[in-house]
């Protein structure tokens, strides 16, 4: 799950979660611009939108349903986001982003500001 739907660093605590975590919005943007990683994330997200009558929990189980939400939240917050990520949030989570991801993005933003 981690390498297909990466999350912001700080959410997951397992070795795998830390290994595949994305540090900030700048790194998330680079991920999306990567010719393989960005393409695959968009492809799998589009496939999710085609599924009917199933929840994220039914598709992925728990806690991977939460990882999907945090991933879509992260990539929906980059500058000039692909609307696709918001569409996945809308379909499976009523458009509500993952609060923990938003909190981590805020913390990272404050840390970057303090370093200046």
DSSP-assigned states of every residue in 41-74: HHHHHHHHHH--S--HHHHH-TTHHHHHHHHHHH
Tens digits of per-residue pLDDT, 55-93? 999 999 999 999 999 999 999 999 999 999 999 999 999
Residue 25 has pLDDT above 70, yes or no: yes
Within 10 A of 89 (CB to CB), how many other CB atoms are there?
21
* Torsion over CA: 29, 94, 20, 39 (sign): negative
Kindly tell me the burial class for residue 68, based on how many C-beta atoms sit within 10 Å of its own C-beta (0-12, 13-18, 19 or more).
buried
Topology (CATH) of 15-115: 1.25.40
The domain spans of the chain are: 15-115
3-class DSSP state of 22: strand
pLDDT score at 2:
80
| Residue-averaged pLDDT of the chain | 92
Task: Tell me the percentage of the chain whose pLDDT exceeds 90.
Answer: 82
* CA 13 distance to own-chain centroid: 16
The two tokens of residue 75 are: 């990539």
Q: Is the pTM of this model over 0.85?
A: yes
Instruction: In whole angstroms, give the CA distance from residue 106 to residue 55.
Output: 28
Residue 113 has pLDDT above 50, yes or no: no
Would you say 68 and 11 are in contact if contact means Cβ atoms under 8 Å apart? no
- 114: tokens are 């303090």
Q: Which two tokens stand for residue 65?
A: 């349903």
């Amino acid at each position: 799950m981690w390498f297909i739907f990466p999350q912001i660093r700080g959410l997951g605590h397992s070795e795998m979660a830390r290994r595949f975590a994305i540090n900030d919005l700048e790194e998330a943007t680079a991920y999306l611009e990567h010719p393989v990683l960005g393409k695959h994330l968009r492809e799998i997200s589009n496939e999710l939108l085609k599924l009917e009558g199933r929840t994220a929990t039914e598709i992925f189980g728990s806690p991977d349903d939460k990882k999907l939400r945090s991933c879509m939240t992260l990539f929906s917050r980059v500058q000039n986001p692909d609307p696709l990520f918001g569409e996945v949030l809308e379909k499976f989570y009523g458009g509500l982003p993952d609060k923990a991801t938003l909190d981590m993005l805020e913390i990272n933003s404050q840390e970057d500001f303090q370093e200046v």
